[in-house]
């Protein structure tokens, strides 16, 4: 006998029923509204791309985690794990003609082929925000401000912190006399530092030793990586005229000063252990974490000035971040900020008897023209069942048109919140233009 | 030498730059707003599904056109070509506990592996609207009304028409004494009728003959298929007490009466040549066409009462449609209804000198809290270059804070539409709560 076909959804993919989708939509809309207020403009591109697009940006290791496959035309393609390469290609094509900065965002589904677990899915939503064309600290600060404002708009004040670092600064630090690490080894050192909080101290030291870092240097490096400085403290140092972290923090100090201007400095700290794994970051790197430190990184980003050139474009500095919904949802649920959404309905219309049906459909249409959410019966339910359905969909008001009301050119209105019931002139609904104040 | 990696996007996939995306977004939002006003609730599901999900619903022929592949786990999967099977599975899982009707919509990218051409892409956006749980004509009429209201909201009055038919009616007609087609042959006859306008009359007749339809019957069938009756005419017949199309049009007459109630009957006609290709339609079938008849079908749908049972759910009647963006865009551009969107910006803030920078960032934040789109410089541009960038992004007002203004606690405001320039108190922007009327 043939195997019964499997209809189950794939592991790591999600279904969203109306209440769940409404909550998710509210979260997405909030994040998107923040990004738009900063003047970022929506773009979009293919959800399937040649695998080479990601190979060239992120190397073979990342490619292993992509949801890649061979298509019917024999091409090596992948469901996109992020939008940066697509957007960089788009910038490359028009960088010479479009004014700078190019401040773009996009929102959509992305995919990764990884073992599904809490906060890590095979299909997820991701918000990508990039500023192309500016190499200045103002752009760094703006990108960080956008990230922080999203978290605040989601009601997460007190629940998150941004850990910021600079690869330029770290390059200087690691190459300095104290550590004396050869510049060609620094990328490998970053890869190890990126794993610092995921592997044992023993393994961490062993891996750094194998890169030629002496024990004496390790004794200084490990506490330095653990030394976190809040931006507020950094600003205090600056006020006092000190430059405690050397030449390379001048730029970070500038970013901190700008974030202070935004009134957001308190959400940021300098954390030397944050370097990010990917080779393509050139200076600023950051990750947003939950304050309790229980969850994986909520999102991260940084500066990647070389990315447009990778796709044959002119040199175009770039800074940005990508924010997925999976860990964010875990944090929002933990802190009871995930919206509990009910279905919203403005009006439910009941007609009594065929004679009133056409009139009711016309009233419904008038209300919908004013963006009201209106339902009428499609089931042949009796009036009492219609009332309980109206209640289920959270209708604010029920309008009822029966023979008696019709004769008097009136409608029966029931306010479902107060339980009050009263009559209103039919005309108020049929000709709302003449009496706009009435429709609330 | 290794082949140069290809970064080009795949054939049949699109990129949307900010202006293009803003226009598209406006179209999507309009369609979605209409659907929501009818009380349809957003749902979503996986974009990758087991191929069996589509095989069981649509048969092997449709599967050939899917963007299917073998995933890294050896599973036969596909990028979804439509959302109905996913949604039907979701309904099947909860049909016993959720109140009816379940009125759901979803919006997102879908994929097909077909030869790209005008109005036919490999990746497209699609709006899916389904009403589950009602077998009544009210549900049929509501679904048709949603479709028509979307087209009207997009400004397409006069540009489209809905061709409606009933498979039940056609079953009766074809099985009647005139044609005498055996019921087991009727699905094959539908498949031929569905191709009527795509193949030559000679081929059409030949294919029907090969199904055993006699020449004499063909002579009646072909004109009958060509005979189009507007719903208005159908309503006239009904008013006169006639039942000119027999028992089976009672239901269609009911649908026409309801659409007349909505005030939408004039956009619909009964066209017996519209039967749709897929086997799973059980009664109502319809397609929306451009009135000039130049384009392929804009969208289509119908009633598929068996779909939830296919996925092991309880018997649950269903009616709905799916509307892609590709042909719609062609029609909207042809009729000059496709929106020409400029970038929207409420304010561009210029600061003169470092001293005012922090204050400017704070003003920007205040304005963003009120959902204003606000940009400030991230490029180190001089004032004149900032003004021309402000112009490029379509800023309505430019605010300028210089030394002199700061001393007077004022801001220089330039209205970019009128060119007028005037001073306003800084406080109006820093403490907008106290002076809400001022921020326009």
Mutate which: A361, A380, A382, A398, vs B, most B CBs within 10 A: A361
Mutate to test the interface with B, among A11, A60, A261, A395 (most CBs of B within 10 A): A261
Query: What's the number of CA atoms in the CB half-sphere (13 Å) around residue B235?
Result: 16
Average pLDDT value for residue range A282-298 = 95
Report whether pLDDT(B251) > 90.
no
Q: How far apart are CA A387 and CA A376, in angstroms?
A: 11
Q: Are B275 and B285 in contact (CB under 8 A)?
A: yes
Per-residue confidence at B246, pLDDT binned at 50, 70, 90? low
Predicted pLDDT at B250: 80
Q: Mark A92-114 as b/e (b = at least 16 C-beta within 10 Å).
A: bbebeebebbbbbbbbbbbbbbe
**B4 has a pLDDT exceeding 80:** no
**A45 and A166 share one domain:** no
Contact A133 B67 (CB under 8 A): no
Residue B218 included in any domain: yes
Residue B101: cis peptide before it, omega within 30 degrees of 0: yes
- Chain B closest CA to A113's CA: distance in Å? 8
**Of the candidates B400, B399, B345, which has an alpha carbon nearest to the alpha carbon of residue B374?**
B345
Q: Are residues B106 and B222 in the same domain?
A: yes
pLDDT exceeds 60 at position B253: yes
In a domain, A254, yes or no: yes
Question: Which run of H or of E encompasses A377?
Answer: none
Q: How many domains does chain B have?
A: 2
B258 near A CB under 8 A: yes
- Give residue for tokens 């119908």: B302
The reply to whether A433 falls in a domain is yes
- The ipTM (two decimal places) reads 0.91
Average pLDDT, stretch A346-355? 88
Find the mean pLDDT for residues B363-379: 95
- B117: Cβ–Cβ under 8 A, 6 or more apart, which residues? none
Residue A131 within a domain: yes
The per-residue pLDDT for range B325-347, each reduced to its tens digit, is 999 999 999 999 999 877 889 99
- Counted across chains A and B, CB pairs separated by less than 8 A come out at 272
Assigned token pair, A169? 């600064």
From CA A281, how far away is CA A132, in angstroms rounded?
14
What is the rounded average pLDDT of the residues B35-40?
A: 97
From A72, A142, A368, residue closest to B113, measured CB to CB: A72
What mean pLDDT comes out for the span A393-421?
A: 93
Residue whose structure tokens are 């809290």: B369
For position A423, which CATH number holds? 3.40.50.800
Look at residue B217 in the predicted model and tell me its pLDDT: 85
Domain match, A403 and A322 both? no
Strand pairing report for A318-324 and A123-132: antiparallel
User: Which residue matches tokens 């786990």?
Assistant: B73
User: What angle (nearest 5°) sits at the alpha carbon of residue A261, between those of residues A255 and A263?
Assistant: 105
Q: Supply the CATH number for residue A297's domain.
A: 3.30.930.10
For residue B423, tell me if it sits in a domain: yes
Choice among A257-271, B51-65, B156-170 with the minimum mean pLDDT: B51-65
Lowest mean pLDDT among A28-42, A325-339, B58-72, B405-419: B58-72
Question: Of the ranges A97-106, B99-108, B188-197, B328-337, which one carries the lowest mean pLDDT score?
Answer: B188-197
Crossing angle (nearest 10°) for helices B52-64 and B84-94: 160
Q: Do B303 and B405 sit in the same domain of this protein?
A: no
Across A215-224, A249-258, B7-16, B62-71, the highest mean pLDDT is recorded for B7-16
Same domain, A333 and A418: no
Looking at the structure, tell me whether residues B309 and B390 fall in a common domain.
no
Q: Which domain does B365 fall in, by range?
A: 345-438
Place of tokens 């804070």: B401
Q: Are residues B329 and B350 in the same domain?
A: no
C-alpha distances (whole Å) from B404 to each of B353, B355, B399, B412, B426 are 11, 12, 14, 10, 12
**Mutation for testing the B interface, residue in A7, A254, A381, A387 having most B CBs under 10 Å:** A7
A18, A145: one domain: yes
Q: Is residue A1 part of a domain?
A: no
Residue B32 domain flag: yes
Looking at the fold, whether B142 and B109 belong to one and the same domain comes out as: yes
| pLDDT number for residue B162 | 98
Q: 3-state DSSP: chain B helix, strand, coil percent, rounded to 5?
A: 40, 20, 35
Nearest to B372 among A15, A37, A360 (CB): A37
* Per-window interface: A 34-53 vs B, CB < 8 A: 34, 36-39, 41-50, 52-53
Whole-angstrom distance, CA of residue A13 vs CA of residue B75:
14
Q: What is the pLDDT of residues B47-102, one digit of tens each?
A: 999 999 988 777 777 778 999 999 999 999 999 999 999 999 999 999 999 999 99
Tell me which of A244, A275, A306 is where a domain ends: A275
- Kindly state whether residues A148 and A168 are assigned to the same domain: no
**Which of the listed residues B280, B315, B334 is the one where a domain comes to its end?**
B334
Separation CA B383–CA B412 (nearest Å): 13
Angle at alpha carbon of residue B110, lines to B107 and B115, rounded to 5°: 145
CB atoms inside a 10 Å sphere around CB A174: 21
Co-location of A171 and A260 in the same domain: yes
Q: Is the peptide bond before B112 cis (omega within 30 degrees of 0)?
A: no
Pairing between strand A410-415 and B41-42?
A: unpaired
pLDDT at res. B293: 92
Q: Is residue A281 part of a domain?
A: no
pLDDT of A217-239, one tens digit each?
888 888 888 888 888 888 887 76
Q: Is A194 exposed, middle or buried (0-12, 13-18, 19+ CB in 10 A)?
A: middle
Q: Do A7 and B52 touch (CB under 8 A)?
A: yes
Q: Are residues B284 and B304 in the same domain?
A: yes
* Last residue in a domain, options A283, A305, A340: A340
Tokens of A304: 């990647």
């Amino acid at each position: 006998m043939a195997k019964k076909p499997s209809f189950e959804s794939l592991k790591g993919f999600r279904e969203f029923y109306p209440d769940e989708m409404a909550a998710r939509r509210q979260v997405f809309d909030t994040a998107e509204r923040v990004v738009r207020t900063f003047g970022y403009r929506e773009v979009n591109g293919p959800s399937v791309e040649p695998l080479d697009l990601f190979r060239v940006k992120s190397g073979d290791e990342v490619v292993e985690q992509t949801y890649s496959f061979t298509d019917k035309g024999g091409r090596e393609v992948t469901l996109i794990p992020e939008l940066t390469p697509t957007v960089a290609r788009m910038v490359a094509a028009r960088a010479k003609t479009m004014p700078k900065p190019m401040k773009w965002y996009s929102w959509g589904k992305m995919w990764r082929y990884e073992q599904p677990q809490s906060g890590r899915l095979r299909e997820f939503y991701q918000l990508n925000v990039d500023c192309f064309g500016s190499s200045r600290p103002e752009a760094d600060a703006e990108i960080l401000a956008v990230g922080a404002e999203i978290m605040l708009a989601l009601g997460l004040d007190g629940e998150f912190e941004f850990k910021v670092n600079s690869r330029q600064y770290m390059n200087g630090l690691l190459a300095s006399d104290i550590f004396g690490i050869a510049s060609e080894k620094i990328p490998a050192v970053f890869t190890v530092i990126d794993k610092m909080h995921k592997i044992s101290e023993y393994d961490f030291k062993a891996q750094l030793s194998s890169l030629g870092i002496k024990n004496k240097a390790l004794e200084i490096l490990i506490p330095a990586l653990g030394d976190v400085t809040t931006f507020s403290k950094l600003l205090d140092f600056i006020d006092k005229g000190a430059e405690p972290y050397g030449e390379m923090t001048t730029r970070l100090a500038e970013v901190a000063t700008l974030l202070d201007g935004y009134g957001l400095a308190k959400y940021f700290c300098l954390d030397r252990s944050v370097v990010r794994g990917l080779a393509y970051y050139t200076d600023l790197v950051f990750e947003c974490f939950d304050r309790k430190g229980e969850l994986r990184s909520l999102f991260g980003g940084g500066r990647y000035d070389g990315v447009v050139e990778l796709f044959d474009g002119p040199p175009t500095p770039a800074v940005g971040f990508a924010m997925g919904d999976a860990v964010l949802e875990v944090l929002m649920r933990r802190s009871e900020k995930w919206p509990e959404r009910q279905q919203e309905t403005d009006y439910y219309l009941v007609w009594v008897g065929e004679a009133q049906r056409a009139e009711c459909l016309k009233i419904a249409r008038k209300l919908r023209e004013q963006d009201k959410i209106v339902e009428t019966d499609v089931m042949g339910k009796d009036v009492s069942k219609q009332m309980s359905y109206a209640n289920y969909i959270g209708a604010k008001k029920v309008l009822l048109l029966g023979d008696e009301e019709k004769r008097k050119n009136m409608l029966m209105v029931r306010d479902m919140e107060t339980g009050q019931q009263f009559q209103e002139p039919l005309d108020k609904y049929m000709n709302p233009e003449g009496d706009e104040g009435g429709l609330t």
